[in-house]
Amino acid sequence: MRRQVLLFLSVLCVSDVQGQVSYSIPEEMAKGSVVGTIAHDLGLDVKRLKSGKARVYMGGGVGYIGLNKERGVLVIQDRIDREVLCGETSPCALHFQLILENPMELFRVAVEITDINDNSPGFTNAEKRFEISESAVIGSKFVLESAIDSDIGMNGLQKYSLTPTDNFVLKLENQADGSKKLEMVLQKPLDRETQENISLLLTAIDGGEPQMSGTMQIFVSVLDVNDNAPAFAKSLYSAKIQENAPKGTKITTVSASDKDIGSHGDVSYLISPSKRFLYEMFKIDSKSGEIILIGEIDYEKANVYQIDVEVVDSGGLSDSSKVIVEVTDVNDNHPQINIVSKSESIQEDSPTNTVIAMLSVNDPDSENNGNVECDIDHDIPFKIQTTLIGFYTLFTEVTLDRERSSEYNITVTCSDEGVPSLSSSVTLTLQISDVNDNPPVFERSSYEAYIVENNTPGLSIFTVRARDADWNQNARVSYILEDSSVNGVPVSSYVSVSADSGVIHAVRSFDYEQIKDFQFHVKAQDGGSPPLSSNVTVKILIQDQNDNPPQVLYPVQSGGSVVAEMVPRSADVGYLVTKVVAVDVDSGQNAWLSYKLQKATDRALFEVGLQNGEIRTIRQVTDKDAVKQRLTVIVEDNGQPSRSATVIVNVAVADSFPEVLSEFTDFPHDKEYNDNLTFYLVLALAVVSFLFITCLVVIISVKIYRWRQSRILYQSNLPVIPYYPPRYSDTLGTGTLQHVYNYEVCRTTDSRKSDCKFGRAGSENVLIMDPSSTGTMQRIQNEKSILDEPDSPLE
Ligand SMILES: *[C@@H]1O[C@H](CO)[C@@H](O)[C@H](O)[C@H]1NC(C)=O
Ligand SMILES: *[C@@H]1O[C@H](CO)[C@@H](O)[C@H](O)[C@H]1NC(C)=O
């Protein structure tokens, strides 16, 4: 198609009669390409060309185009570059001649070379570098070199483009010489911090078909200015620290960044001066931003700290942040116990659940470290209960007994629930005050005490003692003798009890022979209100003393009168002469009697049985032995010291009474007159009067009874036996008498009927000489004896 157009153009050009033909071809056609059918266009025959030795003449020029004589066409012989051939000249044409010989002919040929886009625009330097401060203002211009394109017209340089277009745009400015100035204009501020290096591509584009382009790399290094403030990584930091943490503990590290570089990016940290009071608590490392504890941290003073921190760069730009330091509690506080109120003492009969103290407990620690439980020992009768939170009440758990424990130390221990747990305790001392709830108690359930007879009145016998478990007045015991009677006599006439001491005194002197024991009650009463009391039985046993000498019952010691035992001269050895009978009203050893021969006319003739008092002969009586034998027997009891009595036994060794009588008339009276003569005189008068009256009565009685009874018994009331002991029998068997003896002293008025005898001793011959001990009596008796003598019965 294009070839056809070109061909048409060249035909139009072959209008010169001279023979001129023009062709138009594009540059850069391949060798051998046909430029034009010149033979035809010149109206020549191919033979002519041959014959004419047609040739192309191009002056001195290179043979770009040759002639093909065979075909009669012009062909490309060498590459034709329009830009080399013509440069910027336009139009560009090759002018040559076609020369023929035979005939010589000359034809002009002009071949116009048309431009094709075979050159791309290009830059001298492949790259360009700029260093631009990031603070460069908008509109700043940066000159760029222009591109060059050898092609012309549309194929020449048409336009530029710059990518990316973020910061810069291109500006083309026409200059006076018609050339254009290419500039790069800053349209958006640079930021080193976002893009430190910008790489741009400048492209120059021609208008050919196809379009061609050339590029240049532009490198922009953005230079830093201090345009960025430092910035903390977080607007709020939080950290935790234990209370009591040691100084120097690192709490946290804050960090800020500054996008600037170099000195513009150097930052230092500080705690905001508005929180100056924190300076003694915390320190910040200005370089590293490490926050360090330098004070003492106490949860109970502050449990959170807000530290305002600032960061400054060298240019003075700054930022601030906040660090919240939470203090974690450590169980470092013991519970505090306060006694709200308490009783110093309570009565022992206080009911259960009596409140004795109220406590308040407080632990400044938090959570478990501050949760407190209080308790007391479980072996004391109290309990503790919480009423309100933090308040405890102490109660009695049972009724108390002062006698078991009069004082309690109640230790309340409060512990928190921390790990490890802390505790504290307080001790309350509670006194239990006394109530009179215990009666006095005697040390023994009954008492027995001994007192030896013949005591001095007022003698203290012994002491009863009662104890009272109560206290003070309630335990002050008084002793009271309870009213009772002993043998019909009030006991108070026997004994008295000392109210304070419980000492029992004898009020009188006791005689064992009259009273051997008695008992009474002593009451012990305390001083309480009302008082309590108890009683005890006290038995007093009176002990025998050897205060009674033995008393000889037989032979009767009758003072002046002589009673003699008859021993026949024919009596054998061992003949029982008589038996000394004695009693002792004392008891026991004091009444154990022994008999000894103290004096004898002839010691070789008689002996006395040590135990039984029997007087026996120990050898045959001979005619040489005196009729009148006098034995002194001593009766001793076994008391300590022993007491004794002596008795004189007259023994008549004779076969007949007259013999005896003659011997005994001159018996000396060895009874002595009493000193108390006056008494005896009065007594004698009374007795004589009494006897006189008695005699009268007796005589009358005798007269009355004589006709009725064949014998007359006259019972003497004379005190022959001065004392008749209340107890004759000796139950111990150690006494002198085996049986109860009933002694009768008889006087016969009728010798024939006389029946007088002396118990056992009466088995022997008895001679009553004088039963009286007084002179007066003796006289009377003597008269009687004389009266009776002629008929004195002798069995
Ligand atoms: C109570 O404590 C006091 C003082 O520590 C002490 O004297 C007393 O004996 C204690 N009482 C009891 C019953 O433990
Ligand atoms: C002594 O006490 C008992 C109880 O211990 C009582 O039965 C008795 O009546 C009391 N006797 C006197 C005399 O008070």
Q: Are 226 and 313 in contact (CB under 8 A)?
A: yes
State the pLDDT confidence band at 49, using cuts at 50, 70 and 90: confident
| Residue matched to tokens 């088995």 | 763
CB of 407 sitting under 6 A from ligand 1:
yes
Nearest CA to ligand 1 atom 2: 409
77 versus 742: which is more confidently predicted?
77
Ligand 1 centre distance from Cα of residue 362 (Å): 27
- In a mutational test of the pocket of ligand 2, which residue from 442, 484, 535, 538 has the highest number of ligand atoms less than 8 Å from its CB? 535
pLDDT of residue 562: 62
CB of 429 sitting under 6 A from ligand 1:
yes
Query: Which CATH architecture is the domain 441-543 placed in?
Result: Sandwich (2.60)
CB of 300 sitting under 6 A from ligand 2:
no
Nearest CA to ligand 1 atom 8: 409
The Cα 441–Cα 435 span in angstroms is 16
- The single-letter code of the amino acid at 765 is N
User: Between the CA atoms of 82, 85, 86 and 92, what dihedral angle is there, to the nearest 10 degrees?
Assistant: -60
- In a mutational test of the pocket of ligand 1, which residue from 429, 430, 431, 432 has the highest number of ligand atoms less than 8 Å from its CB? 429
Q: Are 545 and 456 in contact (CB under 8 A)?
A: no
Ligand 2 centre distance from Cα of residue 467 (Å): 17
State the pLDDT confidence band at 546, using cuts at 50, 70 and 90: very high
Ligand 2 centre distance from Cα of residue 535 (Å): 6
The Cα 21–Cα 42 span in angstroms is 7
The Cα 350–Cα 342 span in angstroms is 15
The Cα 33–Cα 24 span in angstroms is 13
Ligand nearest to the CA of 439: 2
Ligand 1 centre distance from Cα of residue 467 (Å): 25
Nearest CA to ligand 1 atom 6: 409
Ligand nearest to the CA of 410: 1
Ligand 2 centre distance from Cα of residue 521 (Å): 9
Pick from 89-103, 508-522, 558-572: least confident: 558-572
Nearest CA to ligand 1 atom 10: 409
Percent above pLDDT 70 for the chain: 83
Ligand 1 centre distance from Cα of residue 776 (Å): 90
| Residue matched to tokens 């150097």 | 266
The Cα 526–Cα 520 span in angstroms is 20
- In a mutational test of the pocket of ligand 1, which residue from 379, 409, 425 has the highest number of ligand atoms less than 8 Å from its CB? 409
For the stretch 179-221, pLDDT in tens is: 788 899 999 998 888 888 999 999 999 988 888 999 999 999 9
Nearest atom, ligand 1, residue 429 CA: 1
Nearest atom, ligand 1, residue 406 CA: 13
Nearest CA to ligand 1 atom 1: 409
The Cα 589–Cα 363 span in angstroms is 88
pLDDT of residue 668: 47
pLDDT of residue 728: 39
Beta strands in 207-289 (DSSP E): 213-223, 231-232, 236-242, 250-253, 256-257, 267-271, 282-284
pLDDT of residue 675: 54
Ligand nearest to the CA of 524: 2
Ligand 2 centre distance from Cα of residue 483 (Å): 12
The Cα 229–Cα 316 span in angstroms is 8
pLDDT of residue 473: 92
CB of 482 sitting under 6 A from ligand 2:
yes
59 versus 409: which is more confidently predicted?
409
Query: Which CATH architecture is the domain 336-433 placed in?
Result: Sandwich (2.60)
A 10 A CB-CB count for 507 gives 15
Nearest CA to ligand 1 atom 7: 409
Work out whether the CA dihedral 458, 460, 461, 463 comes out positive or negative.
positive
DSSP letter string over 44-71? --HHHHHHTT-EEE-TTS---EEEETTT
* Interstrand relation of 714-715 and 644-653 (parallel, antiparallel or unpaired): unpaired
pLDDT of residue 789: 40
Cα 669–Cα 675–Cα 679 angle in degrees, nearest 5: 105
- Of 121, 120, 205, 128, the C-alpha closest to 160 is 205
CB of 521 sitting under 6 A from ligand 2:
yes
Ligand nearest to the CA of 491: 2
Ligand 1 centre distance from Cα of residue 430 (Å): 10
Ligand nearest to the CA of 405: 1
Nearest CA to ligand 2 atom 6: 535
Calculate mean pLDDT across residues 785-795: 40
pLDDT of residue 10: 41
The Cα 434–Cα 117 span in angstroms is 136
Q: Are 282 and 293 in contact (CB under 8 A)?
A: yes
Ligand 1 centre distance from Cα of residue 409 (Å): 6
For the stretch 153-178, pLDDT in tens is: 888 888 899 988 888 999 988 888 87
Question: What are the distances in angstroms from CA 66 to CA 22, 113, 483, 541, 754?
Answer: 15, 15, 189, 191, 238
Ligand 2 centre distance from Cα of residue 522 (Å): 10
Ligand nearest to the CA of 442: 2
pLDDT of residue 559: 64
Pick from 173-187, 389-403, 468-482, 671-685: least confident: 671-685
pTM (2 d.p.): 0.49
Residue 639 CB burial class (10 angstroms; 0-12, 13-18, ≥19): buried
Nearest CA to ligand 1 atom 3: 409
Nearest atom, ligand 2, residue 536 CA: 1
pLDDT of residue 657: 73
In this model, does residue 595 exceed pLDDT 80?
A: yes
Nearest CA to ligand 2 atom 3: 535
Q: Are 200 and 187 in contact (CB under 8 A)?
A: no
Matching CATH number, 127-223, of 3.40.1130.10, 3.20.20.210, 3.30.70.330, 2.60.40.60 = 2.60.40.60
CB of 480 sitting under 6 A from ligand 2:
no
Ligand nearest to the CA of 532: 2
For the stretch 264-279, pLDDT in tens is: 889 999 999 988 889 9
Identical topology for domains 336-433 and 551-788: yes
Collapse the DSSP code of 696 into the 3-class scheme (helix H, G, I; strand E, B; otherwise coil) and give the result: helix
Matching CATH number, 17-114, of 2.60.40.60, 3.30.70.1380, 1.10.3720.10, 1.10.150.530 = 2.60.40.60
pLDDT of residue 354: 94
State the pLDDT confidence band at 767, using cuts at 50, 70 and 90: very low
- In a mutational test of the pocket of ligand 1, which residue from 405, 406, 407 has the highest number of ligand atoms less than 8 Å from its CB? 407
Nearest CA to ligand 2 atom 12: 535
State the pLDDT confidence band at 713, using cuts at 50, 70 and 90: very low
Nearest atom, ligand 2, residue 521 CA: 13
Q: Are 319 and 232 in contact (CB under 8 A)?
A: yes
Ligand 1 centre distance from Cα of residue 429 (Å): 8
pLDDT of residue 676: 67
Residue 565 CB burial class (10 angstroms; 0-12, 13-18, ≥19): buried
Ligand 2 centre distance from Cα of residue 532 (Å): 12
Nearest atom, ligand 2, residue 484 CA: 13
Q: What is the mean pLDDT of the chain?
A: 82
665 versus 549: which is more confidently predicted?
549
The residue ranges of every structural domain in the chain are 17-114, 127-223, 231-328, 336-433, 441-543, 551-788
Range list of H helices, 100-167: none
Ligand nearest to the CA of 537: 2
- Write the CB contacts of 761 (distance below 8 Å, at least 6 apart in sequence): 554, 555, 578, 579, 581
Nearest atom, ligand 1, residue 409 CA: 1
Nearest CA to ligand 2 atom 10: 535
Domain 551-788 CATH class label: mainly beta
CATH 2.20.25.90 fits 231-328, yes or no: no
In this model, does residue 742 exceed pLDDT 70?
A: no
CB of 377 sitting under 6 A from ligand 1:
no
For the stretch 392-427, pLDDT in tens is: 999 999 999 999 999 999 999 999 999 899 999 999
CB of 535 sitting under 6 A from ligand 2:
yes
Question: What are the distances in angstroms from CA 792 to CA 658, 717, 761?
Answer: 12, 20, 18
488 versus 794: which is more confidently predicted?
488
- Structure token pair of residue 325: 């330091």
Ligand nearest to the CA of 430: 1
Ligand 1 centre distance from Cα of residue 410 (Å): 10
In this model, does residue 723 exceed pLDDT 60?
A: no
Calculate mean pLDDT across residues 60-78: 83
Q: Are 552 and 647 in contact (CB under 8 A)?
A: yes
Q: Are 625 and 659 in contact (CB under 8 A)?
A: no
Ligand nearest to the CA of 445: 2
State the pLDDT confidence band at 430, using cuts at 50, 70 and 90: very high
pLDDT of residue 62: 66
Nearest CA to ligand 1 atom 14: 409
In this model, does residue 46 exceed pLDDT 70?
A: yes
Work out whether the CA dihedral 266, 272, 273, 277 comes out positive or negative.
negative
In this model, does residue 665 exceed pLDDT 70?
A: no
Ligand 1 centre distance from Cα of residue 432 (Å): 13
For the stretch 137-148, pLDDT in tens is: 999 999 988 888
pLDDT of residue 743: 37
Percent above pLDDT 90 for the chain: 46
The Cα 483–Cα 465 span in angstroms is 19
pLDDT of residue 561: 57
Nearest atom, ligand 1, residue 408 CA: 13
Upstream peptide bond of 722 is cis (omega within 30 degrees of 0): no
In this model, does residue 391 exceed pLDDT 90?
A: yes
In this model, does residue 758 exceed pLDDT 80?
A: no
Ligand nearest to the CA of 446: 2
For the stretch 342-381, pLDDT in tens is: 999 999 999 999 999 999 999 999 889 999 999 999 999 9
